[in-house]
Structures are given as structure tokens and as C-alpha cells.
Structure 1
Amino acid sequence: MFGRRVPVKYVLLFSVLLALVCAAIAVYFAQGHNWIAAAILGVLAVWFAVDAVRAWSWKKK
């Protein structure tokens, strides 16, 4: 965006944080038997975790 690239360390950090937050909220909703919200947040947690792994592989190069 705007001709600049976001540094990889920020992508990694925010992806890990968002994955943890989404996973924690998904567990909270699962304990309350709200399965649709838990599933959506679980998918988002996996999405951000995969993004963090991809950012980690960029950082290694």
C-alpha cells in the first residue's frame, strides 16, 4: 500500500497476536455453546496462524 512494504517482523507479530486473540475468544464462545461464532473465530485463528508461519518463512530467507 502506498508503495511501501510492511516489515516482516510486524506481520509476524500481529499475526501471532491476532491468532491468539481469535483462538481465546473462540474457546470462550465454545464454552457457551455458541458454535457458529466459535467456528468462525476458529477459522480466523487458523488463518492468522498460517499467516504467521508464512511470515516466519519470509523472515528466515
Structure 2
Amino acid sequence: MAKKEENNIEKSYEFVIYEGDKKFKRMYQAASPKERKKFGYDVPNDADDADLEITRLKNEWLRDGKPVD
């Protein structure tokens, strides 16, 4: 029986913040706490693992409490 090797290579995801993302974060920061619950990045319908991770990172960045610039 052949021994199965595990692939332990860590994937890197391209997490890029565009000008539109910055505008979205400014709107989020200006919104009331009640309105902030409606803000967030949506997962694409045909999302793969990379899309899910990038969406998670963007939502984390949106809510990190740090200034945009």
C-alpha cells in the first residue's frame, strides 16, 4: 500500500483594499450601531475557498475599528 502524503503548504490569499472598499468602510464608520448591522461583504454564489477567505478578511477589516487611511 502506498503511503499518502499530506500537503502542508499554506495558501496565501490576495487581500487587496481598493478605493471602493475604503469608501464602504467610511460609510460603515459614519453609520449608527443599528445601521452597522446591515453592512458587510457578501459571499459570491460560486465562491471557492479563496473567495470565502477573502470575504472573511474584508469583513474583519471593515469591523476592526481602525481608521481607513
Whether these two folds match at TM > 0.5 is no
Task: Report the TM range for the smaller structure's normalisation.
Answer: 0.3 to 0.5
TM-score scaled by length of structure 2: 0.34
TM-score scaled by length of structure 1: 0.38
Greater radius of gyration (CA): 2
